[in-house]
Amino acid sequence: MSPFRSQRDKEPKPAPKPGTITEIRPQQRDDTRVNVFIDGDFAFGLHIDLQLEHGLKKGDVLDEEAIALLLRQDEAKKAIARALNLIAYRPRAAGELATKLREKGFSPDAVEAAVARMTDLGYLDDRDFADRWVESRQSGRPRSVRMLKQELRQKGVDREIVESAVENAGIDEFGDALELARKRATSMTGLDPITRERRLGGYLARRGYGFDIIRRVLEQLESDPEP
């Protein structure tokens, strides 16, 4: 068994014991967080916003319910921060973001809170995401409608939104595949016709094009005038 374990595989930490807050100390490495000590022992870390929101101070008594609420709210804060980092790296669909956060070990409640917050901020719009995804793919290295749909579904985009985005793009599968094949063929001038055809067919198949499209493209290439 690997010695390395993901966050979600770690054993859950025991819940802090209820008691009286004896100290609240700023964390040295993160000035947005504080360490809360109960009955003289470190109990848990907490976002400073939550300390201020709940008015926590030395002498306050925390029971199990109060501690559980603070920890749930703190996890949601962490999930929101991670969500912002993920979206800053590149746009995400709501389902994809939720999946990424779950993979990081966040609870369902924290994931839901983070996705809701990103939606409220206007950072998650699956329709816009799907439209931009299709546009980006087709302006770079096009692929088949089937592959585009598969990619978007893997991102967690709703099927109806996927269908709409692909349909609105007005994709010309044959034209795109033919252009790809013609560009690819320029690097195969030294190959015999059978090998060239096999490699071009494989290239188009890896981009998701079906047999019908590939056959038409190869037939068109055969009829193209010699360069």
What residue ranges do the domains of the chain occupy? 7-120, 126-168, 173-223
The CATH T-level fold of domain 7-120 is Arc Repressor Mutant, subunit A (1.10.10)
Evaluate if residue 30 carries a pLDDT over 80.
Answer: yes
Name the CATH code of domain 173-223 (choices 2.40.50, 1.20.1530, 3.30.50, 1.10.10): 1.10.10
Instruction: Using alpha carbons, list the distances in angstroms from residue 28 to 35, 36, 41, 50, 111.
Output: 10, 13, 17, 18, 27
Question: pLDDT digit string (tens) for 85-111?
Answer: 999 888 899 999 999 999 999 999 999
Confidence of residue 35 (pLDDT cuts 50, 70, 90): very high
* Mean pLDDT, residues 2-29 taken together: 74
Question: pLDDT digit string (tens) for 150-195?
Answer: 999 998 899 999 999 999 988 999 999 999 999 998 888 888 889 9
* Mean pLDDT, residues 195-206 taken together: 92
Evaluate if residue 4 carries a pLDDT over 90.
Answer: no
Evaluate if residue 227 carries a pLDDT over 60.
Answer: no
The Cα 166–Cα 174 span in angstroms is 15
Average pLDDT value for the chain: 89
CA 54 to chain centre: 33
The Cα 213–Cα 175 span in angstroms is 9
Confidence of residue 12 (pLDDT cuts 50, 70, 90): low
- Facing residues of 35 across strands? 25, 45
Q: What is the predicted pLDDT for the residue at 13?
A: 73
3-state helix, strand, coil in the chain (%, to 5): 60, 10, 30
pTM of the model: 0.71
The reply to whether 7-120 and 173-223 are identical in fold is: yes
Q: What is the predicted pLDDT for the residue at 2?
A: 43
